Amino acid sequence: MNGGGGRARSSGRALAWAGLVVLAVGLACAVGFQLWPWGGPGVGWGDALAYLAVAGAGGALAFVLDRGPFRGRDGTEGREAAGYAAVFLVALASGLLAARDATHEWQAAHIPTVPVAATLDGCREISGDATSSYLCFYHWSFQGHPREEEREAHKVYPDGQVVTAALDPATGDLVDTGVARFVLKTVAAGTLVCTDLFLLAAVPVAVPNWLRRVRSGPVTGRAAAGDARG
């Protein structure tokens, strides 16, 4: 009877902890698929709230596992797993977003463009902590129709200043042909991807010890007394 009960408890423990792992992996896959491919719609507010709700459920499950009958040896294994999954998920989502933005910047920088004369007005300076940026209203014509857009500028120009801008002949939109943002976003994406790879590389080292602690269950009074005497 005891052997059957022990097997049942062992199976229940395995299922309970497998639920936490499956929840974390499933959430990571859902976010990854939502941000792929690069040209996809990305994550909206509804999706983000749904993911946060699932992450909250995972955190609650980890808290319950640390305090319930299926707790591990130290009673912190659930929170450790949830914390690791949260860091991995944030790095994964941020890395995919940065990589997608970098891809868009690269595509924008390589769109065939034609020069167009744009008249500026309403220029203003936006002061930042370290540097200042400038915005102006650009006015130009495309296929006989007037167009207007507020965009970044190099400085505060006087109203009526005419500059040459790059125009996408397919859409009539002004495009930014610079590569500075592409470089910055590529570096950010690479850093975040390296963070994920580091976390994945740590799995074979950390998981075996974590699994032993989970399987051993809570330390009983007798075992704790023996450890104290030892």
* pLDDT at res. 224: 44
CA–CA dist 78, 80 (Å, integer): 5
CA 119 from centroid of its chain's CA atoms: 39
CA–CA dist 93, 192 (Å, integer): 9
∠ CA 49-50-56, nearest 5°, is 85
Q: Are residues 153 and 123 in contact, defined by beta-carbon separation less than 8 angstroms?
A: yes
- Strand boundaries in the chain, DSSP class E: 114-127, 132-142, 145-153, 161-167
**Sheet containing 145-153: which strands, arranged edge to edge?**
145-153, 132-142, 114-127, 161-167
pLDDT at residue 227 is higher than 50:
no
Higher pLDDT, 31 or 163: 163
Average pLDDT over residues 40-69: 74
Query: Which residue type does 10 have?
Result: S
CA distances from 138 to 162, 171, 177 (A): 9, 16, 16
Higher pLDDT, 111 or 11: 111
* pLDDT at res. 4: 55
Average pLDDT over residues 97-111: 75
* pLDDT at res. 226: 47
Higher pLDDT, 55 or 41: 55
Q: Are residues 147 and 130 in contact, defined by beta-carbon separation less than 8 angstroms?
A: no
Higher pLDDT, 132 or 139: 139
pLDDT at residue 104 is higher than 50:
yes
pTM for the full predicted model: 0.56
Residue 78 banded pLDDT, cuts 50, 70, 90 = confident
* pLDDT at res. 126: 86
> What token pair was written down for 206?
């950390």
Residue 25: CB atoms within 10 A of its CB come to 13
Helix or strand or coil: residue 96? helix
Closest residue by Cα to residue 106 from 205, 11, 180: 180
CA–CA dist 228, 216 (Å, integer): 18
